[in-house]
Amino acid sequence: MRLDMKKRKFIRLLISYLILGFMMVIIIYPLLWTVGASFNPGNSLVSTSIIPKNPTLDHYKELFEGKESLQYVQWFINSMKISFFTMIGSVITVSFSAYAFSRFRFKGRKNGLTLFLLLQMVPQFSALVALFVLAQMLGMMNSHWLLIFLYIGGLIPMNTYLMKGYLDSIPVDLDESARIDGASHTKIFFRILVPLSKPMIAVVAMNGFTGPLGDFVLSSAILRTPESYTLPIGLYNLVNQVMGASYTTFAAGAILISIPVAIVFLMLQKNFVSGLTSGGTKG
Distance CA 25, CA 167 (A): 37
Q: What is the pLDDT of residues 250-273, one digit of tens each?
A: 888 888 888 898 888 888 877 665
pTM, rounded to two decimals: 0.82
Mean pLDDT for 95-114 is 86
Q: Tell me: domain 71-276, CATH 3.90.950.10, correct?
A: no
pLDDT per residue over 111-161, tens digit each? 888 887 787 777 777 778 888 888 888 888 889 999 999 999 888 888 898
Q: CA-based angle 152:156:159, to the nearest 5?
A: 120
Confidence check: pLDDT of 77 > 90:
yes
CA distances (Å), origin 72, targets 34, 156, 225, 264? 18, 30, 14, 21
CA distance 40 to 53: 8
* Residues shown for the chain: 283
Domain ranges of the chain: 2-56, 71-276
As a dihedral over the C-alpha atoms of residue 249, residue 253, residue 259, residue 262, rounded to 10 degrees, the angle is: -100
Report d(CA 125, CA 102) in Å as an integer: 31
What is the overall mean pLDDT for the chain? 82
pLDDT of residue 1 exceeding 60, the answer is: no
Output the pLDDT for position 191: 87
User: Could you report the per-residue pLDDT of 10-68, keeping only the tens digit for each?
Assistant: 788 888 889 988 888 888 888 888 888 888 887 766 556 677 777 888 888 888 876 65
Q: Are the C-beta atoms of residues 24 and 16 closer than 8 Å to each other?
A: no
